[in-house]
Copies of this chain bind each other. A is one copy, B any other.
Amino acid sequence: MDNKKITIDDIARDLGISKTTVSRAISGKGRIGTATREKVLSYISEKNYRPSAIAKGLAQSKTYNLAFAMPSDSKFIDLPFFQRCMWGICAEGSKADYDVLLCIVDENDISGLKRLADNHKVDGVILGRTYENGLAEKYLFSEGIPFVTIGTSAAADAVQIDNDHVEACRELTGRLLDEGLRRLAVIGGRTEHIVNKSRLTGFTKAHTERGLKTDNAIMYMGSSDKDSVEKALAKVLEQNVDCIVCTDDSVCNTVINRLLSLKLEIPKDMRVASFYNSTTLENFRPTITSLEFDAVGAGMLSCSTLLNLIDGVNVSKKTLLGYNILMRDSTRK
């Protein structure tokens, strides 16, 4: 339609008032006559005028942008968790007229995040995953850029939103033990990912509380890809094991399919549980015992927290989110 972008100057001229007044009518800040405001408002809605967020930002030294840092392995692995977080962040951010800029980060490579931050393109950052080495956190602190982590951070003073993985894993493991499953194997991802460390902590805790010991011979962390998971599974199957606990749905998926191809029936021949749910597991028969978290909610909360942080509102350093335990057929004794 109208190709020319109309500016605040055009409006001021057309209406015979100053752009100060136009600005006030739009922002609602400062005193302004009702009649004048109405006039401006009806004019802009008629002309379909929308102020430039960029210009507004420059004038206010803000960007109205957030960065969401996604782990780079989303290139290869399906990680619906982060997609859902993103969803929550976008939804929550847009309420405050904030938009979200994407970047890909890695345990050892935060160049994507740096670009965004160094170019002054964001007011704050949400870290989608936390690592043992806390590279991103160090950088953001040194630059004085507000940020929130989804997941427990290695940087103690970082503002963190986390699903309570320790508690959740402790409780699920406890339930399995209490149902009489004694020899629990665990196959899981790299403990450089803090979330995996927490899961392991919960797993161990449940044993300790019951005066039981975990057995390192049936615990295989650091299995990030399919091959290493299958190798770990082979080792596990050589031993006396009641149930295999997988730290996430991806590992669990590999384990299940491998068991099936070995003609092992679940739960008759082997029991399986997962510390993270997914639609894939959800479709599976028998149904898989697992933990359920609210990724969208975590995204929303991380966003609203970050916005508070940016605005200088006081926020709590660490918030733990709830979980559901889904006891299902795959762990039936």
| Residues of A bordering B, CB below 8 Å | 1, 3, 5, 50-55, 57-58, 63, 65, 68, 72, 74-80, 82-84, 86-87, 90-91, 94, 97, 99-104, 112, 115-116, 118-121, 142-144, 226, 250, 253-254, 257-258, 260-261, 278-280, 283-286, 296
Contacts and interface: CB of A to CB of B under 8 A. Distances in A.
Contacts of A119: 50-53, 97, 99
A120 B54 contact: yes
9 contacts: A1-B143, A5-B120, A50-B119, A50-B120, A54-B120, A74-B87, A78-B83, A99-B102, A101-B101
A118 B52 CA distance: 8
A264 to B, nearest CB: 12
Given A54-B120, A112-B94, A115-B94, A260 B279 contact: no
A105 to B, nearest CB: 11
Contact of A90 (B103, B120, B280): B103
Interface residues of chain A: helix, strand, loop or mixed (majority): helix
Contacts of A65: 101
A279 B78 contact: yes
A102 B90 contact: yes
Given A87-B104, A120-B5, A142-B1, A63 B54 contact: yes
A250 B226 contact: no
A193 B253 CA distance: 28
A282 to B, nearest CB: 8
Contacts of A280: 78, 253, 280
Contacts of A79: 80, 83
